[in-house]
C-alpha cells in the first residue's frame, strides 16, 4: 500500500491507503480518529472524511493549538494538588465554554452500561478533537508537572461510560497497572445524590470521604493510583456519561484491557438485543 507523510503544524503522521485510493489533501493532518461522517446538526469544525478510510477524519483547524484548545490547561496548572487522603486534583470547567455544548452533543451513543474503549465507538469530528486533546502531549506534560511523574514512555488507555446499572461505583483503588487516572464528566446537569464520586479516607466506608465530585460536564478529576486511592459512589441507575483516561505501566496492559473491554462490550450488546454469546 502506498504511504504518504502528512503534516499538521509540528505534527507528522504516516498514513497507509489501500490501492486505488488517495488522500484528499497534502497538508492536512489525518488521524486515526474513529467516527461516522459528519451529521446534520453536529459541530463539524470544517472536518471531512478522507477517501482512503471512512474512519480517518481530516481536521482543518490550521494549527496544533486549534486542535487542542478544547481543554483549559491554564485551569489545570492553577489548581492545587491535594494530598489528603491521596494525591488528586479537581478542575471545574476543564472544557472550554465555547465548545462545551458541541462536545456534549457529539458524545457517542452508548446504550449499555460499563466502559467501552474509544476505538469501539462512533462519534463525530467535534468529539474527535477532544480525543486528540486528551491523548496528546500537551495534557501529558501538564499532568507530569502536576504530579511530579514521568509519563513520556507510558501508553494511554481511553474508555467511555454512558450509563450506570446500579452496580457501578463500588469502592476500589484502581489496578496497580494504572499510574494516573483522569476522569472527565459529560453530564449537562446532575441533581442526583447518587453517582457523585467520593475520594475516601478509609477503604470500607463510603461516608468517610475527603471530597465528593458531582459528574457535571467539564469537571475533571485526576489522581495518582496508590494503595490508598480508594474511591466510589452511591449506586446510580440511568445515564451517567464520562471519559476515563489512564496512563499505564506498559503496552501489554493496553492490549489486555482492550481485549477485555471489547469482549465485555460484545457480551453486553448480545444481552441488549436478546442474544447469547457464541
Decide the pairing of beta strands 209-213 and 197-200: antiparallel
SS (H, E, C) the chain: CCEEEEEECCEEEEEECCCCCCCCCCCCEEECCCCCCCCCCCCCCCCEECCCCCCCEEECCCCHHHHHCCECHHHHHHCCCECCCCCEEEECCCECHHHHHHHHHCCCCCCCCCEEEHHHCCCCHHHHHHHHHHCCHHHHHHHHHHHCCCCCCCCEEEEEEEEEECCCCCCECCCCCEEEEEEEECECCCCCCCCCEEEECCCCCCCCEEEEECCECCCEEEEECCCCCCEECCCCEEEEEEEEEEEECCHHHHHHHHHHHHHHHHHHHHHHCCCCCC
Q: How far apart are CA 24 and CA 50, in angstroms?
A: 6
Residues constituting the chain: 278
Q: How far apart are CA 253 and CA 117, in angstroms?
A: 13
Q: In the prediction, which pLDDT does 257 show?
A: 80
In this prediction, the residues of the chain whose per-residue pLDDT falls under 70 are 1-68, 262, 264-278
Q: In the prediction, which pLDDT does 265 show?
A: 61
Nearest CA to 68 out of 140, 154, 4 is that of: 140
Q: How far apart are CA 205 and CA 66, in angstroms?
A: 44
Prediction pTM value:
0.74
pLDDT tens-digit series, residues 21-58 = 333 332 233 333 333 333 333 332 333 323 333 333 33
pLDDT tens-digit series, residues 132-155 = 999 999 999 999 999 999 999 999
Q: In the prediction, which pLDDT does 179 show?
A: 98
Q: How far apart are CA 113 and CA 64, in angstroms?
A: 34
Q: In the prediction, which pLDDT does 236 show?
A: 92
Contact in structure between 221 and 182 (CB atoms under 8 Å): yes
Nearest CA to 230 out of 265, 257, 203 is that of: 203
Q: In the prediction, which pLDDT does 262 show?
A: 67
Amino acid at each position: 500500500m502506498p504511504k504518504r507523510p502528512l503534516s499538521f503544524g509540528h505534527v507528522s503522521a504516516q498514513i497507509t491507503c489501500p490501492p486505488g485510493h488517495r488522500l484528499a489533501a497534502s497538508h492536512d493532518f489525518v488521524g486515526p480518529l474513529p467516527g461516522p461522517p459528519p451529521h446534520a446538526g453536529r459541530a463539524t469544525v470544517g472536518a471531512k472524511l478522507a477517501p482512503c478510510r471512512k474512519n480517518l477524519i481530516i481536521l482543518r483547524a490550521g494549527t496544533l493549538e486549534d486542535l487542542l484548545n478544547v481543554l483549559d490547561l491554564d485551569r489545570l496548572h492553577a489548581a492545587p494538588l491535594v494530598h489528603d487522603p491521596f494525591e488528586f486534583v479537581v478542575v471545574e470547567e476543564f472544557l472550554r465554554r465555547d465548545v462545551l455544548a458541541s462536545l456534549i452533543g457529539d458524545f457517542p451513543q452508548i446504550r449499555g452500561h460499563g466502559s467501552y474503549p474509544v476505538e469501539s465507538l462512533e462519534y463525530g469530528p467535534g468529539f474527535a478533537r477532544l480525543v486528540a486533546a486528551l491523548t496528546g502531549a500537551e495534557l501529558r506534560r501538564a499532568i507530569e508537572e502536576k504530579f511530579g511523574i514521568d509519563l513520556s514512555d507510558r501508553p494511554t488507555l481511553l474508555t467511555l461510560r454512558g450509563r450506570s446499572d446500579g452496580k457501578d461505583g463500588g469502592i476500589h483503588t484502581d489496578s496497580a497497572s494504572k499510574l494516573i487516572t483522569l476522569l472527565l464528566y459529560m453530564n449537562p446537569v446532575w441533581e442526583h445524590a447518587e453517582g457523585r464520586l467520593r475520594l475516601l479516607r478509609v477503604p470500607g466506608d463510603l461516608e468517610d470521604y475527603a471530597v465528593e465530585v458531582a459528574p457535571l460536564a467539564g469537571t475533571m478529576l485526576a489522581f495518582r493510583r496508590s494503595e490508598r486511592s480508594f474511591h466510589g459512589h452511591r449506586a446510580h441507575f440511568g445515564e451517567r456519561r464520562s471519559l476515563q483516561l489512564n496512563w499505564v505501566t506498559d503496552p501489554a496492559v493496553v492490549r489486555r484491557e482492550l481485549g477485555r473491554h471489547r469482549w465485555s462490550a460484545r457480551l453486553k450488546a448480545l444481552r441488549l438485543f436478546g442474544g447469547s454469546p457464541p
